[in-house]
A and B are shown apart, each in its own frame.
Chain A
Amino acid sequence: MPPVLELRNITKRFPGVLANDRIDLTLNRGEIHALLGENGAGKSTLMNILYGLYQPDEGEIFINGEQARINSPTDAIHAGVGMVHQHFMLIPVFTVTENVMLGSESIKVGGVLDRKTAAERIREISSAYGLAVNPDDYVRDLPVGGQQRVEIIKLLYREADILILDEPTAVLTPQEADELFKIMHSLTERGKSIIFITHKLREVLDIADRITVIRRGQVVGSTTPKQADQNKLASMMVGREVDLKLEKKAAKPGAVVLEVENLKIADDRNQIAVDGISFQVHAGEVLGVAGVQGNGQTELVEAVTGLRNALEGHIHLLGEDTTQASPRHITELGTAHIPEDRQRDGLVLNFPVADNLVLNTYYKQPYSQGLIMQHELIAETAKTRVENFDIRTPSVETSAGSLSGGNQQKVIVARELSRPLKLVVASQPTRGLDVGSIEYIHGRLVASRDEGAAVLLVSSELDEIMQLSDRIAVMYRGKIVDVLPAKGASKEQIGLLMAGLSGQKTLKNPAKRGKSRKDA
């Protein structure tokens, strides 16, 4: 039997970049094939070619042994290829049925939508594959994991045989991720085939049948979980030895730098996002705030850095009440802020790297003398920063937007950590970055801690929290569920806290809870 999908010799050039260089890939029926690679390695380009969004310059696609012409996503769907994007393509105010029907509506006589038949099929699909979804629920009421299941049902509804999952676990709690893996297995048992795109090495080893690693547009090797381990995969991805275990000395906590008292914050829709939380961060320690995204972390960081007003409560920075302080004043007190969304908040993409490196110090000596900006000095300083922080850019006059994500983040890190600091607020500092950049940025954060800065780290990557933190605070629905020392904390324990189960229950019967989940 021919493989269900075969990509032969796929080459795709963009101006100045060879995104895919003679890539071969085969996918067998009932297989989970992990596609592993750094950001910008060419994974997305390859998948966009398969999904019909790009046309390859060279190469052929075979589906079930027959050459396929895929010129558009419509062609891809007809050929049985479906894709779950990292950002869901759902309409929140529609029901599950309506979302699934969208684009392939069943229609009764006279153009009336036949919701009933569609809902019936959705029920069939969800029971056949173990995708617990109620067709009548509104998508906005579903948790992220549920929304993802709707995306998968959409593909099955269109009778896709080849499913591409693009970074599907990025938005899930560890428990939800486990749930997804079960679904993936039940899909492959019933003859579906899956391409699983990720950069999380542990997941690849857990779930994939085969692994293909891509680096700089080329396939650098194929392996199986049995033959590989995390270090081997990481070095294949990066092309050099990578130190996955971060060596750090024990923390030497000093005086309190940041104190948050009974803080209440509203989000953009005027809903309470942070609901009366209190904590302290000491000099020389990393406080990690764990939690699934959207549980108030964003608003907390914005309040601490002066970008959002609190409804109630106080924030003290170095003893000064900064609850109402401006972002500039907070920065001048010695705060670094690595923002959650680097492209939205942290950079001006069409400005040169040099200007971005002085984005919040441009007005000070020596970068400005009176009214005049000292462009030559700014460029010289930028060159030093670019070297010190290993920012890969053609020149300091290159616009920040044309750098890779990892290098954009390094620009922000270089800017924020090159000042004398008392407090470092880092929000999702390595999201979407490659292994090499993550390693680098982690090292820099720990170095700041060792130099005596207090570090407030917010991340939805549990691995990152566990590796860097000295203490871990878990946020759920605007509250801090628990604060525990990182030493001795287990992933399962924090995962359950992230899902809103209080610390006490977790510690009492972790075994029982795990069992009941399986039974369900």
Chain B
Amino acid sequence: MAKKDTQPQTSSKKKTAFGIFLEELTRGSLLVPILAIVTGLLLGGLIVALTTEQVYTTWSESPLEAIGIGVNAALRSYGALFNGSIGNPERIIDALSSGEEAAIRRAFNPFLESLTKSVPYIFAGLAVALGFRAGLFNIGAEGQLFIGAITSVYVGFALTGLPAIIHLPLALGAGALGGALWGFIPGWLKAKTGGHEVINTIMMNYIAFRLSEYLLRGPLQRPGSTNPISPFIEASAQLPRFFDSPIRFHLGFFIALAAAYGVYWLLFKTRIGFELRTVGANPKAARYAGMNIVWVTVLAMSLSGALAGMAGANEVLGLNYNLAPAFSSGYGFDSIALALIGKSHPLGVVLAALLFGTLRNGALQMQIAANVPVDIISVMQALILAFIAAPAIIRTIYRLRTPEDDDDQLHVRGWGG
């Protein structure tokens, strides 16, 4: 075989995060996610066209015109999506030339708001990705996110008189700790009893949801309010914003990027990460190599929970300043999808999270400007996910070769594994 003939080379390239990412890109394993996104967008456009009523009313008279209307509708909604998530180019130029500060802020707001919306996605995506790397399927990010939000909001309003430099880290840390606890429990159950983490994290989700409802109607309810809502947090616990209203862009975005780097560093530079990845890739070999699988499993679930908790903490400390039941729009569940799209690599997760944040942000504008329901975005996300989960579909559509060592499979063991 040709492989055997090649003599060992001497290349001592230092691997960087970007290097690994590029490597995966050129090896073709990132081609599938990218094509999945493109295909999802195209099909989303088709759905917009098909749900435009005018297309059907015109069809009997002139099918060609009907198709034109459909294409037009799709283009208009994607135009609105772009304006709503990146920014309207005309408005940006106008605002810049007028030099009016408020106008400039408004013109750039869509883009910054997309970044803001991607913060919880980054954290929760990292949480799921870290679990994947250790061979664990953490379905419980949503519950961990709720608990993280509860603990951080509590520290945020209950502690008073502290300077921000102490209060904010405390509140964030409380969020991470709460999430970590919620991840630790299923992790410990898995390691000690073999109880499958998928089942247990789902159960923990329900407990978290009901617990938050109870707390918001009981101990944590805002005094004097009849609604299930917590008191406002102290200003010292708020994540600072960088611009005046309406721009909500806050420090959380940079903390999220730092967390992504931290996860990358942990996974690929430390011996704990080595253990985590080994247990995830081949638990038998990990045992053979003398690794403590119980410890690694518990640690991975706890860290995963902490990251998900940070997602919740960022929402309450950065945007809402209080906790209400509907504060999460399912970030924890969407994060499973985006960890898959991002190939469980921190950089991939950040990129996928930016995509999700952008789509979510643009969707609102799409609804207002093009009268297309927000749900179209959910359908598109579902399509993208379906294509990524079943790469064979994408490979068939684009006639791609099946890779020899199929890296596209989940980093997760099956049931009972």
Which residues 382-417 of B have a CB within 8 angstroms of A? Answer: 401, 404-405, 407
Q: Which residues of B contact A329 (CB under 8 A)?
A: 290
**Chain B residue with minimal CB distance to A392?**
B4
> Is B15 interfacial (CB-CB < 8 Å)?
yes
A-B contact count (CB 8 A): 116
**Chain B residue with minimal CB distance to A387?**
B8
Which residues 245-278 of B have a CB within 8 angstroms of A? Answer: 269-272, 274, 277-278
**Is the CB–CB distance between B8 and A307 below 8 Å?**
no
Q: Which residues of B contact A350 (CB under 8 A)?
A: 281, 405, 407
Q: Which residues of A contact B166 (CB under 8 A)?
A: none
**Is the CB–CB distance between A379 and B12 below 8 Å?**
yes
Q: Which residues of B contact A216 (CB under 8 A)?
A: 1
Digit string of B1-18 for contact with A (CB within 8 Å is 1, else 0)? Answer: 111111111111111000
Among the listed stretches A142-150, A263-271, A337-345, which one makes contact with chain B, having 4 or more residues with CB under 8 Å of it?
A337-345
**Is the CB–CB distance between B285 and A18 below 8 Å?**
no
**Is the CB–CB distance between B271 and A394 below 8 Å?**
no
Q: Which residues of B contact A368 (CB under 8 A)?
A: 271
Q: Provided the pairs A40-B1, A362-B274, A380-B12 are in contact, do residues A346 and B288 lie with their beta carbons within 8 angstroms?
A: yes
Q: Which residues of A contact B287 (CB under 8 A)?
A: 307, 327, 345
Q: Which residues of A contact B407 (CB under 8 A)?
A: 350
**Is the CB–CB distance between B284 and A326 below 8 Å?**
no
> Is B289 interfacial (CB-CB < 8 Å)?
yes
**Is the CB–CB distance between B271 and A345 below 8 Å?**
no
**Chain B residue with minimal CB distance to A330?**
B290
| A336, chain B: closest CB distance, angstroms | 12
| B314, chain A: closest CB distance, angstroms | 27
Digit string of A383-408 for contact with B (CB within 8 Å is 1, else 0)? Answer: 10011000111111101011110010
Which residues 403-423 of A have a CB within 8 angstroms of B? Answer: 403-404, 407
> Is A520 interfacial (CB-CB < 8 Å)?
no
Most buried by B among A339, A371, A401: A371
Determine the distance from Cα of A251 to Cα of B36 in the docked complex, in whole angstroms.
Answer: 64
Most buried by A among B12, B270, B289, B405: B289
Q: Which residues of A contact B3 (CB under 8 A)?
A: 16-17, 392-394, 402-404
Give chain A's interface residue range (CB within 8 Å of chain B). 35 or more
> Is A252 interfacial (CB-CB < 8 Å)?
no
**Is the CB–CB distance between A373 and B4 below 8 Å?**
no
**Is the CB–CB distance between A347 and B9 below 8 Å?**
no
> Is B328 interfacial (CB-CB < 8 Å)?
no
**Is the CB–CB distance between A18 and B12 below 8 Å?**
no
Contact of B290 among A14, A331, A344, A379 (CB under 8 A): A331
Q: Which residues of B contact A396 (CB under 8 A)?
A: 8
Which residues 302-350 of A have a CB within 8 angstroms of B? Answer: 305, 307, 326-329, 331, 337, 339, 344-350
Determine the distance from Cα of A355 to Cα of B288 in the docked complex, in whole angstroms.
Answer: 15
Most buried by A among B5, B269, B270, B284: B284
Q: Provided the pairs A216-B1, A372-B270, A395-B8 are in contact, do residues A360 and B289 lie with their beta carbons within 8 angstroms?
A: yes
> Is A359 interfacial (CB-CB < 8 Å)?
yes
> Is A247 interfacial (CB-CB < 8 Å)?
no
Which residues 140-193 of B have a CB within 8 angstroms of A? Answer: none
| A321, chain B: closest CB distance, angstroms | 18
| B366, chain A: closest CB distance, angstroms | 40
Q: Which residues of A contact B1 (CB under 8 A)?
A: 17, 19, 40, 216-217, 404
> Is A487 interfacial (CB-CB < 8 Å)?
no
| A16, chain B: closest CB distance, angstroms | 6
Contact of B288 among A15, A307, A363, A394 (CB under 8 A): A307
Contact of B281 among A16, A331, A337, A351 (CB under 8 A): A351
**Is the CB–CB distance between A18 and B278 below 8 Å?**
no
> Is A505 interfacial (CB-CB < 8 Å)?
no
> Is B200 interfacial (CB-CB < 8 Å)?
no
> Is B39 interfacial (CB-CB < 8 Å)?
no
Q: Which residues of A contact B405 (CB under 8 A)?
A: 349-350, 399, 401-402
> Is B88 interfacial (CB-CB < 8 Å)?
no
Q: Which residues of A contact B8 (CB under 8 A)?
A: 383, 386-387, 391-396
**Is the CB–CB distance between B285 and A348 below 8 Å?**
yes
Q: Which residues of A contact B284 (CB under 8 A)?
A: 344-345
> Is B282 interfacial (CB-CB < 8 Å)?
yes
**Is the CB–CB distance between A376 and B6 below 8 Å?**
no
Which residues 354-377 of A have a CB within 8 angstroms of B? Answer: 355, 359-360, 362-363, 368, 371-373, 375-376
| B290, chain A: closest CB distance, angstroms | 3
Determine the distance from Cα of A15 to Cα of B403 in the docked complex, in whole angstroms.
Answer: 10
**Chain B residue with minimal CB distance to A353?**
B8
**Is the CB–CB distance between B4 and A376 below 8 Å?**
no
Digit string of A1-43 for contact with B (CB within 8 Å is 1, else 0)? Answer: 0000000000000111111000000000000000000001000
Q: Which residues of B contact A402 (CB under 8 A)?
A: 3, 404-405
Digit string of B373-385 for contact with A (CB within 8 Å is 1, else 0)? Answer: 0000000000000
Which residues 38-72 of B have a CB within 8 angstroms of A? Answer: none
Q: Which residues of A contact B10 (CB under 8 A)?
A: 383
**Is the CB–CB distance between B290 and A327 below 8 Å?**
yes
| B134, chain A: closest CB distance, angstroms | 13
Q: Provided the pairs A18-B2, A393-B8 are in contact, do residues A344 and B285 lie with their beta carbons within 8 angstroms?
A: yes
| A483, chain B: closest CB distance, angstroms | 28
| B278, chain A: closest CB distance, angstroms | 6
| B262, chain A: closest CB distance, angstroms | 13
**Is the CB–CB distance between A360 and B288 below 8 Å?**
yes
Determine the distance from Cα of A497 to Cα of B5 in the docked complex, in whole angstroms.
Answer: 43
Determine the distance from Cα of A392 to Cα of B157 in the docked complex, in whole angstroms.
Answer: 63
**Chain A residue with minimal CB distance to B406?**
A350
**Is the CB–CB distance between B281 and A373 below 8 Å?**
no
Q: Which residues of B contact A403 (CB under 8 A)?
A: 3
Q: Which residues of A contact B401 (CB under 8 A)?
A: 15
**Is the CB–CB distance between B4 and A348 below 8 Å?**
no
Q: Which residues of A contact B285 (CB under 8 A)?
A: 344-348, 359
Q: Provided the pairs A40-B1, A394-B9 are in contact, do residues A360 and B290 lie with their beta carbons within 8 angstroms?
A: yes
**Is the CB–CB distance between B288 and A339 below 8 Å?**
yes
Determine the distance from Cα of A494 to Cα of B54 in the docked complex, in whole angstroms.
Answer: 86
Q: Which residues of B contact A346 (CB under 8 A)?
A: 285, 288
**Is the CB–CB distance between B290 and A17 below 8 Å?**
no
| B19, chain A: closest CB distance, angstroms | 11
| B173, chain A: closest CB distance, angstroms | 20
Q: Which residues of B contact A394 (CB under 8 A)?
A: 3, 6, 8-9
**Chain A residue with minimal CB distance to B266?**
A371
Q: Which residues of A contact B288 (CB under 8 A)?
A: 305, 307, 327, 337, 339, 345-346, 359-360
Determine the distance from Cα of A392 to Cα of B4 in the docked complex, in whole angstroms.
Answer: 5
Which residues 399-454 of A have a CB within 8 angstroms of B? Answer: 399, 401-404, 407
B interface residues (Cβ-Cβ under 8 A, vs A): 1-15, 269-272, 274, 277-278, 281-282, 284-285, 287-291, 401, 404-405, 407
What are 28 A-B pairs with beta-carbon distances under 8 A?
Answer: A17-B1, A18-B2, A40-B4, A327-B287, A327-B288, A328-B290, A328-B291, A331-B290, A344-B284, A345-B284, A346-B285, A350-B281, A350-B405, A350-B407, A351-B278, A360-B288, A372-B269, A372-B271, A373-B269, A373-B274, A375-B269, A380-B12, A392-B4, A393-B3, A394-B9, A395-B9, A396-B8, A403-B3
7 closest Cβ pairs, A-B complex:
A328-B290, A360-B289, A327-B290, A345-B288, A392-B4, A359-B289, A348-B282
| Extra 13 A-B pairs, beta carbons < 8 Å, given A17-B2, A349-B282, A375-B269 | A40-B1, A40-B4, A327-B288, A348-B281, A349-B281, A359-B289, A362-B274, A362-B289, A371-B270, A373-B270, A375-B15, A386-B8, A392-B5
A interface residues (Cβ-Cβ under 8 A, vs B): 14-19, 40, 216-217, 305, 307, 326-329, 331, 337, 339, 344-351, 355, 359-360, 362-363, 368, 371-373, 375-376, 379-380, 383, 386-387, 391-397, 399, 401-404, 407
